[in-house]
């Protein structure tokens, strides 16, 4: 890779590299070759943030929030690069006002998310948690959690039919499932899409792939959740607040749903008394926002971040929010 030297005033920092590089398993050279003096920090607390941003021209981060005052207090800042698709944690309007470029990633973790989502769904459909606990406790023929269903007899409903939703559809069809796509709450219905309520009422498994915004926040409230079939399984690998977490806990506790696989929460990290974390039910599986976290997807994130930064150096627009 060609070497670039665009910095005129200051620092380049990666604020939370450990959130991408779980076990020191990634090749960071695409970034360090581009910016040899890039400072890698494992994590950055609120108390450390001001010092680490001082005189920074380039900020790289996965999930550290950058607000308006941080942007305005660092006049040399030119570039904020994210190893994520979502950019809710960056004050985009402030970045625009101060001519700071913000780049995100697209399509870097599709396979990883689909694998994770289906792993959770299949574990619940096969009752693996339930049977594991039963055998460990000495039960050999446990009953009471409903039948295992063969996939060719099941219908998957998908809310959000972008890259991830389309990939989920393709995988489900390859496994012999039927698929219904709900009309996106933010967009006019496309041919073949069905009203949301119809998809909720007819799906055996429902998979969420929509972004979080003012229109999708709390989209699946208690009324919507209770439209779902009592045996249905909910998968959320999108954003936690798309679902009313308290309502989902109540519906699961009431036995109305067949199960839920939750990778994202309305508060992250969730407290131990979070309504979904504290549910002690064999038909609920939670994971720590890890659907994106395969080795290949994480390395791809570093490579794509470096490509975004190199493009910015050349004065070109690649994957850029502002």
- 62 preceded by a cis bond (ω within 30 of 0): no
Distance (Å, whole) CA 112 – CA 240: 18
- The secondary structure element, H or E, covering residue 224 is helix 222-225
Q: What percent of the chain stands above pLDDT 70?
A: 95
pLDDT of residue 88: 84
pLDDT of residue 144: 73
Domain ranges in the chain are 11-108+294-313, 110-286
pLDDT of residue 2: 40
pLDDT of residue 145: 72
Length of the chain equals 322
Residue 59 has pLDDT above 80, yes or no: yes
Residue 5 has pLDDT above 80, yes or no: no
Residue 318 Cα distances to 66, 98, 102, 135, 170, angstroms: 21, 20, 11, 53, 28
Distance (Å, whole) CA 286 – CA 196: 25
- The structure's pTM equals 0.89
pLDDT of residue 120: 98
Q: What is the side-by-side strand order in the sheet with 233-236?
A: 178-182, 155-159, 205-208, 233-236, 259-262, 284-286
Asked, colleague to colleague, whether 11-108+294-313 and 110-286 share their fold, the answer is yes
pLDDT tens, position by position, 291-322: 999 999 999 999 999 999 999 988 877 756 76
**Structural fold of domain 11-108+294-313:** Rossmann fold (3.40.50)
Does 132 qualify as catalytic in the annotation?
Answer: no
Q: Which of 161, 184, 239, 298 is catalytic?
A: 239
132 phi and psi, to 5 degrees?
Answer: -60, -50
Mean pLDDT score, 3-22: 78
Q: Which of 268, 296, 314, 318 is catalytic?
A: 268
Distance (Å, whole) CA 160 – CA 239: 12
pLDDT of residue 322: 60
Does 289 qualify as catalytic in the annotation?
Answer: yes
Does 116 qualify as catalytic in the annotation?
Answer: no
Q: Which of 161, 184, 289, 300 is catalytic?
A: 289
CATH of region 110-286: 3.40.50.720
- Token reading at 125: 């459909």
For residue 285, give the 3-state DSSP assignment.
strand
- For residue 122, what pLDDT band results from cuts at 50, 70 and 90? very high
């Amino acid at each position: 890779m060609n070497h670039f030297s665009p910095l005129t005033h200051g620092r380049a920092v990666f604020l939370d590299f450990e959130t991408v590089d779980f076990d020191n398993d990634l090749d960071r050279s695409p970034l360090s070759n581009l910016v040899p003096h890039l400072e890698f920090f494992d994590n950055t607390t609120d108390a450390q943030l001001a010092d680490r941003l001082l005189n920074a021209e380039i900020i790289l981060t996965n999930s550290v929030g950058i607000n308006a005052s941080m942007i305005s207090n660092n006049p040399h800042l030119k570039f904020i690069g994210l190893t994520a698709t979502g950019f809710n944690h960056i004050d985009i309007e402030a970045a625009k006002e101060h001519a700071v470029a913000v780049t995100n990633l697209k399509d870097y973790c599709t396979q990883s998310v689909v694998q994770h989502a289906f792993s959770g769904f299949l574990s619940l459909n096969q009752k693996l948690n339930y049977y594991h606990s039963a055998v460990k406790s000495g039960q050999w023929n446990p009953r009471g959690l409903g039948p295992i269903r063969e996939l060719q007899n099941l219908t998957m409903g998908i809310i959000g039919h972008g890259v991830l939703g389309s990939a989920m559809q393709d995988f489900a069809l390859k496994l012999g499932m039927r698929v219904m796509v709900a009309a996106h709450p933010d967009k006019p219905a496309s041919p073949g899409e069905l009203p949301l309520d119809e998809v909720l009422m007819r799906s055996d498994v429902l998979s969420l792939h929509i972004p979080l915004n003012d229109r999708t926040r709390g989209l699946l409230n208690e009324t919507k959740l209770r439209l779902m079939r009592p045996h249905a399984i909910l998968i959320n690998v999108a954003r936690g607040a798309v679902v009313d977490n308290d309502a989902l806990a109540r519906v699961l506790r009431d036995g109305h749903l067949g199960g839920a696989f939750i990778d994202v929460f309305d508060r992250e990290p969730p407290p131990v008394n979070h309504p979904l974390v504290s549910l002690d039910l064999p038909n609920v599986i939670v994971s720590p926002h890890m659907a994106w976290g395969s080795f290949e997807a994480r390395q791809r994130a570093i490579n794509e971040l470096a490509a975004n930064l190199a493009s910015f150096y050349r004065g070109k627009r690649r994957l850029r929010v502002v």
